[in-house]
Structure 1
Amino acid sequence: MNDYHFKLIKFAGDFEWHVHQDTDKVFFTLEGEMIIDFRDGQVKISKGEMFILPKGVEMKLSAEKECHIMLVEPKSVGNTGGTESELTAANDTWI
């Protein structure tokens, strides 16, 4: 929609530290519970809750059990910000 993607994601465990310098991100938890760690704290997002992460904030996602989330972000945004790693996926790729 208007060059934005609504991404449906299932994950468990720890992701990696990364930052999205140029865009805010919207996280909406559909099932389960996730944690977003920051260098100076963390936020827990439970089923039915939404969190808007401002651009330029370094973060690390995690979930003890499988968590289903929806992300809303510009279609040009990669899943690991500007960080390249084995977890980096090409845009417009189902992972």
Structure 2
Amino acid sequence: MESSVSRRGMLQLTLVAAASVAEAVASPARAQPELSEAQKISHADAKYQTTPNDQQRCEICLQFEPPNHCKIVQSPITPHGWCQYFAARENAH
């Protein structure tokens, strides 16, 4: 039993497969619900401090939410603070 698939058909199948993979990869990132304050990490457990650690500070962290919130550490925080979960945003200064 032999089947013939045209280049156009193969390209369409490839595009559909690629789109499916892209959707599967993107969906979990969008589906992550926000944490409630009770679910967030405490200041003590995060080793949070109200001063920066050299150039590292909350206001350039991926988790920072202006004016004084964090996606993973309990609020309030200061933009000039720091914790052990610091992760700089791309092009952060």
Task: Quickly name the TM-score band, shorter chain normalised.
Answer: under 0.3
**Which protein has the bigger strand share?**
1
Greater Rg, structure 1 or structure 2? 2
Higher relative contact order (CA 8 A, sep 6+): 1
Tell me the TM-score normalised to structure 2 length.
0.24
